[in-house]
């Protein structure tokens, strides 16, 4: 239930451009001060949206608007920065730091919408724009963060920050700007800066190509099935959806099993046809490494080399050391130690689980008069479900009729938020949306005032990247007066027209998880945009969302939403009890597949530049790294293999460990809620006041200690994942 989610919270490039340099991507030089400003036109990004809370005017936004808005936005911001950097007056907090916070509004609006849409609803035009502007936007970021005059002003304020009479948040803002600029290379020589710019321009282009390849091959690698009989084990609705998917590809009479971006695929738990399970599994793990248009091996190798080189220029032995210096973990040794403590226990549990499944296989084959076979990765989910049914007397199909999607959202997720925080939600249909599947809600605080607008985008589609994530279209700030506009994205298969959307339990907990991110954004109560919402370290950002998962099976919450979609009858308590009892089931697998990916991420990013494998050697390195890390159990592949590991090609490079690192805090916090009475306004208001509202305005671990009253303890996590037994 608490496995890492492909969440990956969406910090678009805009986050680092619209007046807040969140670990600025160190990108290439491109002096745009002489670039002609695009002529005035009816471009929705040239002025603030007039819709409520500055909600984007999706009905007025055309793909042709983005390029001109990027061009004008970059010109405008560089002019603003030039005024700040060359101000003849001595640097002050207002004329330097606050002025930077206010800069780049046109670019920020355009980039925020654009990069959110390339994740949620891309198309050929947007992909081309993404490729065309990746290096340009990177160069723009560097033109600011590597401006020596600007950095000199920031440094002078940093040197005297404690004597300026500022609030604690103001002092922290100066410190954060200084750190961000220094980490971008502001203290380097001119020659080093030039090389950093070139490296980051190339990284931006390579990263865009990698992500486009991943999405393209997820669609291209979908498995085509000739007959309905081969789909035995799937529900009628799933078969109908597979037929619809085939029809959309002009394959009438056939069936298409779409892939998610994870190694494991949901249908592997249901398909009775072992040969088809093997096809689905091999189609999944082969992505990005077969040669051809979508091969990512060369891209990954080059990205790793460039990151290692950049880290060296910055004075670090490797990319992981560079990244972790700015996280709560602080260094690779701390991350390695934590994962080394978990890996042997997880693999031992997984091997015990495999023995149970092999026994089921042997018994079934013997009963059928057939020779047994060895459990393989494509068999795991299928036989794990059989063991679950045997041990706990239920299967996923028994739960789904009680888990209709809108009911889960409104009477589960929203209900829990109401009980904890006093929030109320009202759907509205008058605001434009970027896709017909999107639903919009006003969010009201306990005092009746509007707190935010929430966008729910729950269905999978070919134009949408895999996984689940939260993003922001407008971030809260006292300086700007903005209130949040936040979005949650899932990838739930859309049923045929007229049929209900029935969720798996994993999808339910994912919905609660992502809404935890949304709450982090909606409850933000900071003055400066740089600190808004989820602007916290990556190894802390998953923590509040993981805490929110606890309410999915909280009795009062579950009773309010787990009702049969046809009869309205509540889920039987006996069934719920089985779900709760099974919460530690298969945790050996879940933890091992996660740690395999997390430790692989560290294995790559703890290499020096001369140790990076060439593209042709990447898969061999992956195998060796899994063995070295002790997570190479043949039946449990890593959750992501290198060539489709989108997290580490994006914002989670050297940071995929963050999910389990955050879960230490999460599990400890869940114990606090239970000790203090659980679902209550008192508890919710305390969590909100001490942690959720603070964003990045205070040190992350300080906010945890203020909430919890002490340092975190790992024992609740070990207990939750069934890792206490050796």
> Helix/strand/coil (H, E, C) string of 168-236?
HHHHHHHHHHHHHHHHHCCCCCHHHHHHHHHHHHHHHHHHHHHHHHHHHHHHHCCEEECCHHHHECECH
Q: What letter does residue 307 receive in the DSSP assignment?
A: H
Q: What is the pLDDT of residue 60?
A: 97
Under 8 Å CB-to-CB from 15, ≥6 apart: which residues? 22, 112, 535
First and final CA of the chain: distance in angstroms? 22
**Selection from 103, 124, 110, 123 nearest residue 68 by Cα:** 110
Q: What letter does residue 471 receive in the DSSP assignment?
A: E
Same domain, 675 and 714: yes
Q: What letter does residue 552 receive in the DSSP assignment?
A: G
Q: What is the pLDDT of residue 395?
A: 81
Same domain, 187 and 51: yes
Q: What is the CA radius of gyration of the chain?
A: 25
CA 633 to chain centroid, in Å, comes to 26
Average pLDDT value over all residues in the chain: 93
Q: Residue 557 pLDDT > 90, yes or no?
A: yes
What's the whole-number mean pLDDT along residues 330-338? Answer: 97
Q: Are 278 and 376 in contact (CB under 8 A)?
A: yes
Same domain, 250 and 200: no
Cα–Cα dist 470/452, whole Å: 14
Q: Are 717 and 664 in contact (CB under 8 A)?
A: yes
Same domain, 237 and 270: yes
**Selection from 321, 520, 488, 505 nearest residue 417 by Cα:** 520
In a domain, 301, yes or no: no
**Selection from 620, 657, 658, 661 nearest residue 642 by Cα:** 620
**Selection from 495, 394, 376, 523 nearest residue 437 by Cα:** 495
In a domain, 258, yes or no: yes
Same domain, 66 and 106: yes
Cα–Cα dist 161/172, whole Å: 9
CA angle 640, 513, 586 (to 5 degrees): 55
Annotated active-site residue in 507, 514, 593, 698: 514
In a domain, 348, yes or no: no
Q: What is the pLDDT of residue 181?
A: 98
Tell me the pLDDT band of 41, cut-offs 50, 70 and 90.
low
Q: Pick from 255, 285, 315: which residue ends a domain?
A: 285
Of the CA atoms within 13 Å of residue 494, those in its CB half-sphere come to 15
What's the whole-number mean pLDDT along residues 702-716? Answer: 96
**Selection from 614, 613, 635, 632 nearest residue 623 by Cα:** 632
Q: Packing angle between helix 658-675 and helix 700-708, nearest 10 degrees?
A: 20
- What tokens appear for 291 in the block? 């040669």
DSSP string, 388-443: HHHHHS--HHHHGGG-BHHHHIIIIIHHHHHHHH--EEEEE-SS--SSTT-EEEEE
CATH number of the domain enclosing 465:
1.10.1370.40
Q: For the chain, how many structural domains are there in total?
A: 3
Q: What Cα–Cα distance (Å) separates residue 54 from each residue in 19, 47, 48, 457?
A: 17, 10, 7, 19
Same domain, 242 and 205: no
Q: What is the pLDDT of residue 24?
A: 28
Q: What is the pLDDT of residue 725?
A: 55
Same domain, 179 and 141: yes
Q: Residue 418 pLDDT > 80, yes or no?
A: yes
Cα–Cα dist 457/465, whole Å: 12
- Per residue in 62-94, pLDDT tens? 999 999 999 999 999 999 999 999 999 999 999
**Selection from 720, 587, 591, 608 nearest residue 657 by Cα:** 591
Of the CA atoms within 13 Å of residue 629, those in its CB half-sphere come to 34
In a domain, 543, yes or no: yes
Same domain, 112 and 184: yes
* Bridge partner residues of 177 (DSSP): none
Q: What is the pLDDT of residue 16?
A: 33
**Selection from 219, 150, 206, 160 nearest residue 180 by Cα:** 150
- Per residue in 117-156, pLDDT tens? 999 999 999 999 999 999 999 999 999 999 999 999 999 9
Cα–Cα dist 32/17, whole Å: 15
Q: Residue 31 pLDDT > 90, yes or no?
A: no
Ranges of H-type helices in 483-586 = 505-522, 538-548, 555-561, 573-581
Phi first, then psi, for residue 394 (nearest 5°) are: -155, 160
Give catalytic status of residue 327 as yes or no. no
| Number of residues assigned to the chain | 726
434 lies in which domain range?
404-553+659-720
In a domain, 343, yes or no: no
What 3-state class would DSSP assign to 559?
Answer: helix
In a domain, 8, yes or no: no
Same domain, 17 and 73: yes
- Per residue in 593-609, pLDDT tens? 999 999 999 999 999 99
What b-and-e string marks burial along 135-151, b requiring 16 or more CB atoms within 10 Å of the CB? bbbbbbbbbbbbbeebb
Cα–Cα dist 602/642, whole Å: 12
Q: What is the pLDDT of residue 19?
A: 32
Same domain, 428 and 540: yes
Q: Are 686 and 254 in contact (CB under 8 A)?
A: no
In a domain, 491, yes or no: yes
- Number of CB atoms found within 10 A of residue 360's CB: 18
What's the whole-number mean pLDDT along residues 100-115? Answer: 98
Q: Are 715 and 665 in contact (CB under 8 A)?
A: no
- The region of weakest confidence among 31-40, 239-248, 433-442, 536-545 is 31-40
Q: Residue 18 pLDDT > 70, yes or no?
A: no
Of the CA atoms within 13 Å of residue 441, those in its CB half-sphere come to 21
Q: Pick from 250, 267, 285: which residue ends a domain?
A: 285
Same domain, 450 and 526: yes
% the chain with pLDDT above 70: 94
Q: Residue 29 pLDDT > 60, yes or no?
A: no
Same domain, 83 and 225: no
Q: What is the pLDDT of residue 582?
A: 84
In a domain, 20, yes or no: yes
- What tokens appear for 372 in the block? 């047994």
Q: What is the pLDDT of residue 659?
A: 94
Element housing 457 (H / E): strand 450-459
Q: Residue 265 pLDDT > 60, yes or no?
A: yes
Cα–Cα dist 460/663, whole Å: 27
What 3-state class would DSSP assign to 100?
Answer: helix
Q: Residue 660 pLDDT > 70, yes or no?
A: yes
Q: Pick from 248, 267, 285: which residue ends a domain?
A: 285
Phi first, then psi, for residue 652 (nearest 5°) are: -110, 25
Q: Are 21 and 108 in contact (CB under 8 A)?
A: no
Cα–Cα dist 203/552, whole Å: 39
Ranges of H-type helices in 251-401 = 274-285, 297-313, 319-324, 332-367, 377-392, 396-399
Q: What is the pLDDT of residue 10?
A: 28
> Measured over all CA atoms, what is the biggest interatomic distance in the chain, rounded to whole angstroms?
90
**Selection from 47, 31, 33 nearest residue 136 by Cα:** 31
Q: Residue 577 pLDDT > 90, yes or no?
A: no
């Amino acid at each position: 239930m608490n496995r890492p989610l492909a969440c990956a919270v969406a910090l678009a490039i805009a986050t680092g451009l619209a007046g807040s340099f969140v670990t600025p991507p160190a990108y290439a030089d491109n002096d745009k001060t002489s670039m002609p400003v695009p002529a005035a036109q009816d471009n929705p990004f040239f002025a603030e949206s007039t819709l409520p809370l500055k909600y984007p005017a999706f009905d007025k936004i055309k793909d042709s608007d983005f390029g001109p808005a990027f061009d004008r936005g970059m010109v405008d911001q560089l002019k603003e920065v030039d005024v700040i950097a060359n101000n003849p007056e001595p640097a002050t907090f207002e004329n330097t730091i606050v002025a930077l916070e206010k800069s780049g509004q046109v670019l920020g609006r355009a980039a925020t919408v654009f990069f959110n849409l390339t994740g949620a609803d891309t198309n050929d035009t947007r992909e081309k724009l993404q490729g065309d502007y990746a290096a340009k936007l990177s160069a723009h970021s560097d033109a600011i963060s590597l401006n020596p005059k600007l950095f000199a002003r920031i440094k002078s304020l940093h040197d005297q920050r404690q004597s300026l009479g500022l609030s604690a948040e103001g002092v922290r803002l100066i410190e954060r700007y200084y750190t961000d600029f220094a980490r971008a290379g502001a203290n380097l020589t001119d020659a080093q800066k030039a090389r950093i710019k070139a490296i980051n321009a190339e990284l931006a282009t390579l990263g865009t190509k990698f992500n486009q390849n991943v999405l393209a091959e997820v669609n291209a690698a979908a498995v085509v099935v000739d007959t309905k009989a081969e789909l035995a084990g799937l529900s009628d609705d799933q078969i109908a959806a597979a037929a619809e998917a085939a029809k959309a590809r002009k394959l009438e009479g056939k069936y298409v099993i779409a892939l998610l971006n994870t190694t494991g695929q949901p249908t592997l738990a249901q398909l009775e046809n072992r040969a088809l399970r093997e096809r689905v599994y091999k189609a999944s793990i082969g992505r990005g490494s077969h040669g051809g248009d979508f091969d990512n091996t060369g891209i990954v190798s080059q990205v790793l080399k460039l990151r290692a080189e950049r880290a060296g220029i910055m004075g670090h032995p490797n990319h992981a050391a560079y990244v972790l210096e700015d996280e709560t973990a602080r260094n690779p040794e701390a991350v390695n130690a934590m994962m080394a403590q978990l890996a042997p226990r997880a693999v031992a549990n997984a091997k015990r689980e495999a023995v149970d499944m092999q026994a089921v296989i042997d018994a079934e084959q013997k009963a059928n008069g057939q020779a047994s076979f060895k459990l393989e990765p494509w068999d795991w989910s299928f036989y794990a479900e059989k063991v679950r049914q045997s041990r706990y007397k239920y299967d996923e199909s028994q739960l789904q009729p009680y888990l209709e999607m809108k009911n889960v959202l409104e009477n589960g997720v929203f209900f829990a938020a109401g009980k904890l925080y006093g929030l109320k939600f009202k759907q509205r249909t008058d605001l434009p949306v970027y896709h017909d599947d999107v639903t919009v809600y006003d969010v009201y605080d306990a005092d009746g005032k509007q707190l935010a607008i929430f966008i729910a985008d729950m269905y999978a589609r070919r134009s949408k990247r895999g996984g689940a994530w939260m993003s922001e279209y407008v971030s809260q700030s006292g300086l700007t007066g903005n209130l949040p506009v936040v979005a949650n994205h899932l990838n739930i298969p859309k049923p045929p027209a007229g049929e209900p959307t029935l969720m798996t339990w994993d999808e339910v907990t994912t919905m609660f998880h992502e809404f935890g991110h949304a709450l982090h954004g909606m409850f933000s109560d900071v003055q400066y945009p740089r600190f808004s919402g989820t602007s916290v370290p990556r190894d802390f950002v998953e923590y509040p969302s993981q805490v929110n998962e606890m309410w999915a099976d909280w009795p009062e919450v579950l009773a309010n939403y787990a009702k049969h979609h046809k009869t309205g009858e509540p889920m039987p308590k006996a069934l719920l009890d089985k779900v709760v009892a099974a919460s530690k089931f298969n945790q050996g697998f879940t933890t091992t597949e996660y740690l395999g990916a997390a430790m692989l991420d560290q294995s790559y990013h703890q290499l020096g530049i001369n140790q990076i494998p060439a593209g042709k050697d990447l898969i061999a390195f992956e195998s060796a790294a899994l063995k070295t890390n002790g997570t190479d159990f043949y039946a449990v592949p890593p959750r992501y293999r290198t060539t489709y590991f989108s997290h580490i090609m994006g914002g989670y490079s050297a940071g995929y460990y963050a999910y389990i690192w955050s879960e230490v805090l999460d599990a400890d916090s869940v114990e606090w809620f239970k000790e203090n009475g659980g679902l209550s306004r008192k508890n919710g208001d305390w969590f909100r006041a001490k942690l959720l509202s603070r964003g990045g305005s205070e040190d992350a671990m300080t906010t945890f200690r203020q909430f919890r009253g002490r340092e975190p303890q790992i024992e609740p996590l070990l207990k939750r994942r069934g890792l206490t037994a050796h």
